[in-house]
Amino acid sequence: MNNLMVKSDLMEKIVSLCKRRGFVYPSSEIYGGIGGFWDVGPLGVELKKNIKDLWWKAMVYDRDDVYGLDSTIIHHPKVWEASGHATSFTDPLRECKSCHQRFREDKLKSDKCPECGGKLTEVRQFNLMFKTSVGPVEEGGQETYLRPETCQGIFINFGNVVDSCHPKIPFGIAQIGKGFRNEITTGDFIFRDREFEMMELEFFVKPQDDEKWFEYWKDQRMKWHQSLGIKKENLHFFEHPKENLAHYSKRTIDIEYKFPFGWAELEGIANRTDFDLRNHSKFSGRDLSYQNEETGEKYYPYVIEPSVGVERVMLAMLLDSLKEEKERTILSLNPKLAPYKVAVFPLLANKPNLVKKARSVFDELKPVLHTAWDERGNIGKRYYAQDEIGTPWCITVDFQTLEDRTVTIRNRDTTKQIREKIDNLEGWFQNKLENK
């Protein structure tokens, strides 16, 4: 089997697993679906939450120089004029004159339609923002857009955060939230969506310190991805050539992941200079410069921006974790990311005394660890079902439990089993999670 087939097969397996096990569903599936939109199922919700929690911990809780924010999805239309999105947030588009499908010009390999072979129109620029109207009637409403990124909400609140929290430069403002881009072509499962979630930090620094902090955040973000368990050999840096930089950027480096369809952006780290604060000051009439309270020095800070999509991290984690053995499929997720930390079973579902004891163990663990319960089928099938969704440990209550209050703990990756006292379980699992 050639390498291309192997890669295609891997993506197909991930898509199938996500649907079957409740990670990701096609949106509006009962009506035939809607391109570029995906619904996140019960296990996917937990995986996404764990990714976001670990990002927030690393970026906010573990630091004393970053503040959190949750801005609105819809901003005043002038925000997008000031940011340049109203005129510059475009992709080159060509449409087939026969089948009327649309394609990004930079993804085409010839002047013919890749679907039907028909003739393509000339290139035109297509604005990626979703338009909407604010007001009780569409005709008289104020036209604006759904945000394509979360960072503008941070920039327009820069003055509010400074006035409320009195931070000293350097400091950051972090935000996790939804973004919307009317992509010309979507694909590669949840890699390129029209609705997605972003984790962004805007870190404000003295202009003369921008390169130092750019290198700092580049290294910090690579370490974070590796701490999740993503293989080092599947990550690398890609520096954008100067001629391809966004209008606001002095320098941009992507952390790329080796997806089945090739190396592609997982996270971007950009030096946005003082472009955003200066422009919002100009368009709004409010001075968004920073003043040092001790020296009186006043300036527009430069901004270093690490920005990453939650769905892209999720996809990378699923791809990196999938393993297949002769009898089982395993998601070897970092236990901190796993949707369920523990699963509890009675050895036999038709023995009321075992079920009752197992249920009491489940009830004790559930308030402190996200715990699954399963009494369907034989014990082997239950183990394999939990392996496939990434549950790192399974507890089995058996007849010995009734005698000495010990249970079997099975490790997902090694399948090795140990016995541990019920009274020690919470501490045992917390210790394992803290050291992962």
pLDDT, one tens digit for every residue, the chain (436 residues): 344 435 568 999 999 999 999 999 999 999 999 989 999 999 999 999 999 999 999 999 999 999 999 999 999 999 999 998 877 766 777 888 888 777 878 778 888 888 888 888 888 777 788 888 888 766 667 889 999 999 999 999 999 999 999 999 999 999 999 999 988 777 789 999 999 999 999 999 999 999 999 999 999 999 999 999 999 999 999 999 999 898 889 999 999 999 999 999 999 999 999 999 999 999 999 999 999 988 889 999 999 999 999 999 999 999 999 999 988 999 999 999 999 999 999 999 999 999 999 999 999 999 999 999 999 989 999 999 999 999 999 999 999 999 999 999 999 999 999 999 999 999 999 999 988 7
Do 343 and 413 fall into the same domain?
yes
Distance, in Å, from the CA atom of 250 to the CA atom of 86, rounded to the nearest integer, reads 21
Are residue 236 and residue 384 in the same domain, yes or no?
no
Q: Do residues 258 and 342 share a domain?
A: no
Looking at the structure, tell me whether residues 160 and 260 fall in a common domain: yes
Three-state DSSP class for 357? helix
Same domain flag for 300 and 371: no
State whether 392 and 245 are in the same domain. Answer: no
- Tokens 């089928």 sit at which residue? 377
Domain total in the chain: 2
136 part of a folded domain: no
Query: Is 37 within 8 Å of 186 (Cβ atoms)?
Result: no
The verdict on 359 and 248 lying in the same domain is no
Q: Cβ of 425: how many Cβ atoms within 10 Å? A: 21
Judge whether 413 lies within some domain. Answer: yes
Q: How far apart are CA 45 and CA 29, in angstroms?
A: 18
Does 362 share its domain with 421? yes
Q: What CA–CA distance (Å, rounded) separates 335 from 352?
A: 31
Question: Which residues span the domain enclosing 333?
Answer: 329-434
∠ CA 193-197-202, nearest 5°, is: 125
CATH number at residue 345: 3.40.50.800
For 311, the token pair is 């769905």
Q: Please tell me the distance from the alpha carbon of residue 434 to that of residue 422, in angstroms, as a whole number.
A: 20
| Ramachandran bin of 398, using left for φ above 0, alpha for ψ from -120 to 50, beta for the remaining angles | beta
DSSP summary character for residue 120: B
pLDDT value at residue 137: 66
Do residue 301 and residue 414 come from a single domain? no
Whether residue 276 lies inside any domain: the answer is yes
Query: Considering the domain boundaries, does residue 199 fall inside one?
Result: yes
Last residue of a domain, one of 296, 320, 344: 320
Q: Which of 229, 234, 231, 413 is nearest to 325 (CA)?
A: 413
* Final residue in a domain of this structure, among 288, 320, 352: 320
**DSSP of 27-96, one letter per residue?**
TTGGGT--TT-EEE-HHHHHHHHHHHHHHHIIIIIT-SSEEEE---SB--HHHHHHHSHHHH-EEEEEEB
Ramachandran angles phi, psi of 167, nearest 5°: -75, 155
pLDDT of residue 76: 94
309 and 274 part of one domain: yes
> Of 269, 287, 320, which closes a domain?
320
Q: How many residues does the chain have?
A: 436
In this structure, what CATH number is given to the domain that contains residue 154? 3.30.930.10
Are residues 258 and 338 part of one domain?
Answer: no
Tell me the backbone φ, ψ of residue 131, rounded to 5 degrees. Answer: -80, 150
**pLDDT reported for residue 139:** 66
Q: Do 66 and 185 fall into the same domain?
A: yes
